[in-house]
Amino acid sequence: MHAEIHGHRGARGLRPENTLPGLAHALELGVDALEFDVALTADRRLVLTHDLTVSPVTSADRHPAFHGDPLFPYVGRPVGELTLAQLRTLDCGVRLPRDPGDRFAATQVPVPGTRMPTLGAVLGLVDAYGADGVRLHVELKSDPTRPDLSADPGEFTEMVIAELDRHRRLSGSAILSFDWRILQAARALAPATSRYALIERDTMDAVWLNGLRLQDFDDDLPAAALAAGGTVLSPDHVLVDEELARRAEKAELPLVVWTVNEPGRAARMLDLGVAGIVTDYPDRMRALWAERDLPVPPPASPMRRSGT
């Protein structure tokens, strides 16, 4: 199996994240998988957003959904407190960095007027591109330390799986989460669907790992991920070294690392035998793949028009 290129939030370094233009750009560049984030609105709609509160970096208020809306402005409010109609008033096409050192400000091309899409709209976009060979990697945003912001993990997972199945995309998708309760729910609801056990240093405790304690596995991340119901281990790349790669190989658990944007670091990950690299810059990874004579995923082009 050759290593894969996964577009992070579409192609975050090149176009606005978690938007239809960003996902379309990644498809047109050519990726093996589209990764994006999903949360649940107040009216139980599945929308693309990385943050459980409306981010001032990726979203800008334009106008209230209706005159005198007491929840306006919406930026900074919990996504689960707002309806789809309210969230669709936001402009999600222009990055508004709060940090002058924002690493995407110089490379991300703005697309003003872009709205927050639903999961259904994304599935329609992929269909319009005829991109049946591109897997959809749906990260369910859930924070077990903030139940006030998070949907019920079982119900949330069921809704996502039902939407994928309704569009006949379940077999070509994967469920991802840092909240390993999601993995347990996905294993029960769709056992044949890939499940990515996401992890970083900040989530290495039982609260995030569905009650599992890494010390009970001798700090063996692949063993813990398998026990949680993961079929792929997907760690922050800073956690990956020869020891982790060896343990993953021994467990026969594919290793997909995130978020790698520098070709030199990506080359190191490839040397360790990772199965995939999640990147904000699919164009850079495609160039590295070509240098190494690795097969690159084919670009896609729209078969018919799809609205944004």
pLDDT in tens, 156-211: 999 999 999 999 999 999 999 999 999 999 999 999 999 999 999 999 999 999 99
* Residues 248-271, mean pLDDT to the nearest whole number: 98
* Residues 283-301, mean pLDDT to the nearest whole number: 97
Between CA 279 and CA 14 the distance in angstroms is: 11
The residue whose two tokens read 């001032």 is: 56
Strands of 41-147 (E only): list them: 46-48, 135-140
* Residue 275 reports pLDDT greater than 50: yes
DSSP string spanning 207-250?
TTTTT--GGGGTT-HHHHHHHHT-SEEEEBGGG--HHHHHHHHH
* Residue 90 reports pLDDT greater than 90: yes
* Residue 306 reports pLDDT greater than 80: no
Share of the chain above pLDDT 90, in %: 95
Note the pLDDT of residue 239.
98
Between CA 198 and CA 149 the distance in angstroms is: 19
Note the pLDDT of residue 303.
78
* Residues 282-295, mean pLDDT to the nearest whole number: 98
pLDDT in tens, 17-63: 999 999 999 999 999 999 999 999 999 999 999 999 999 999 999 99
pLDDT in tens, 103-143: 998 999 999 999 999 999 999 999 999 999 999 999 999 99
Amino acid residing at 37: D
Between CA 157 and CA 159 the distance in angstroms is: 5
Note the pLDDT of residue 305.
52
* Residue 304 reports pLDDT greater than 80: no
Between CA 177 and CA 196 the distance in angstroms is: 7
Domains and CATH numbers, the chain: 4-38+129-291 (3.20.20.190)
As a whole number of Å, the CA-based R_g of the chain is 19
247 vs 2 pLDDT, higher one: 247
In which band, very low, low, confident or very high, does the pLDDT at 307 lie, cut at 50, 70 and 90?
A: very low
pLDDT in tens, 212-246: 999 999 999 999 999 999 999 999 999 999 999 99
